[in-house]
Structure 1
Amino acid sequence: MSAHTAQNDRSPIIILTGASRGLGLSTLQILLSRYNARVTTLSRSTPPDFQAVVEKYGDDRVLAIQGDVGDQATNAEVVKRTVEKWGGVDGLVLNAGGLEPLGRIADLDLSVLTTCSNTNLHSALYIIQPALPYLRKGRGADGAKGRIVLTSSGASMTGYVGWGLYCMAKSGLNALARVLANEEKEAGVAVWAVRPGVINTDMQSLLRDKGPGVMDPTQLQKFQDMYDNGQLLPPDEPGAVLAGLAVKGPIELTGEYIEWKDDRLSHLRL
């Protein structure tokens, strides 16, 4: 066995959803460059910046799967193909999600409820369940068991007007982290729901474009001011914490809803 092959065999195997842009794309790049990870991605789109990363690292480091994260069968297929290609799963970073549709509860078209919930909440269960048998085996580079990182939001704790479905789903992820951490404690699988901060991504552009007339003006102005004052986070800062948690997150913090800049995670930051 060559030195390169041996090193690659020891590198962590991570599944990352919502990897095609913004926070997910930054997390992918950090997993590959900082942790020498092998990464399976699931995303609906494959924009040029994402394709460039895939081409740079090649198919021995990235398995890029295009599909709907809200579809149960697709998630199961992602786990199956990952195990077939690399022999296991060491960590999950479940980052897929979307803010739309914006709308006040009284005005929402409830026909979108299932699609929105599948994307933002149910998708986590769709991929966690088939991955758990492999996460329990502890193939991590440091010999630890598997790790699950859920991208939550400050919205999970805040009643933003017009964000009802998104807030509900993110609160659900926090609860999932607490329950799963208790259920999998003896198996050694750790899980966290991470608040990644207010990031300069497409979601903020959406708020500025579609928030007026839907959101509370004071709440909307907060985000506008952060944009105007250059206070939105670059995605690689919280992305480094998501990537680090998936590879070597502290087991003793399992189950927590934790902010990306928590001092206990300082060793994972850029």
Structure 2
Amino acid sequence: MTLSGKTALVTGGNRGIGLAAVKALAEAGATVHFTARSAANIAAAQRELGDMIAIGHHANMTDRDAMTTVLDHGFDILVNNAGVIGPIGRMLDISPEDWGANIETNLIAAFHATQTAMRHMVAKGGGTIVNLSSGAAHRPMEGWSAYCCGKAGLAMLTRAIHEEYAPQGIRVFGFAPGVVDTDMQGSIRASGLNPVSKIPRENLAPAEEPAKAIAWLCTAAADALAGQEVDVRNPDLRRSVGLRALE
């Protein structure tokens, strides 16, 4: 699995699945950039990366000017990883403003990043986009109405990209990473809502597993899955990626 000569951008790449994806893409040979919300977050990520070189950019996903500046570098690979879970709460207990802020980050900002990246990809003859999806895109979860709707929209965006731009060399995947040990899962556990909050931390998957799958999706080995939603828990995918079988 090699991505030598490719450039990649991971949004929200300073921690969790994003940081693990930065590592996996770099290990596969790509030149990797990532975004984070602050210079301090970039510095912390680069300390974690050690000798591994990755270029950090201070940019919030919802800041379109800042994101355009980053994306105008022109990348071969875009990983739309940045996202938020909140507001967590039943629908009568949350505000339209907070609900809309989730959609702005998880769907509209991802659309803008994709649109900007694709202008360069199409001009170069192709590229790869990996949208971080979720099982919540396909079934409702108590307390997650905004997150579920945003991820459902992102799943349809994946299909729309494939429908419109596959003939121009754009490979796009929706990727569900499973239940992973991240800061987001900490917020979910604290809420006490729905069955996901009850999963013990020791049962959560390490971020390195979905990260390895993300890097694999960026190679030609995944061509047959383009345009689809794929799940890290799928046994065939795990075998292809080289991940351990689930019990």
TM-score (norm 1): 0.81
Residue equivalent to 2:37: 44
Residue equivalent to 1:167: 148
Q: Of the candidates 30, 36, 60, which is equivalent to residue 68 of structure 1?
A: 60
Alpha-carbon shift at residue 37 of structure 1 (Å)? 1.0
Which runs of no fewer than 5 residues in structure 1 stay unpaired? 1-8, 84-88, 140-144
Secondary structure class of the residue paired with 1:77: helix
Measure the CA separation in 2 of the matches of 1:41 and 1:22.
Answer: 13
Residue equivalent to 1:77: 69
TM-superposition CA deviations, 1:34-83 (whole Å, max 9, x none):
x111112112141664121456234xxx2211121112212211112x23
Correspondence 1:17 to 2:21 = no
Measure the CA separation in 2 of the matches of 1:269 and 1:206.
Answer: 30
Residue equivalent to 1:86: none
Measure the CA separation in 2 of the matches of 1:48 and 1:77.
Answer: 20
| Structure whose CA Rg is larger | 1
Give the counterpart letter for 2:9 in structure 1.
I
Secondary structure class of the residue paired with 2:34: strand
Equivalenced residue count is 238
**Which sits farther off after the overlay, 48-57 or 105-114?**
48-57
Alpha-carbon shift at residue 23 of structure 1 (Å)? 0.6
Measure the CA separation in 1 of the matches of 2:242 and 2:50.
Answer: 26
Secondary structure class of the residue paired with 2:168: coil
Alpha-carbon shift at residue 167 of structure 1 (Å)? 0.5
Measure the CA separation in 1 of the matches of 2:100 and 2:179.
Answer: 26
Give the counterpart letter for 1:267 in structure 2.
S
Alpha-carbon shift at residue 113 of structure 1 (Å)? 3.4
Secondary structure class of the residue paired with 2:69: helix
Contact 1:155–1:167, Cα closer than 8 Å, also in 2: yes
Contact 1:14–1:246, Cα closer than 8 Å, also in 2: no
Between the two proteins, what is the percent identity of the paired residues? Answer: 28
Measure the CA separation in 1 of the matches of 2:242 and 2:156.
Answer: 25
Q: Of the candidates 26, 45, 52, which is equivalent to residue 57 of structure 1?
A: 52
Measure the CA separation in 2 of the matches of 1:173 and 1:127.
Answer: 12
Secondary structure class of the residue paired with 2:57: strand
**Which sits farther off after the overlay, 119-128 or 164-173?**
119-128
Alpha-carbon shift at residue 22 of structure 1 (Å)? 0.7
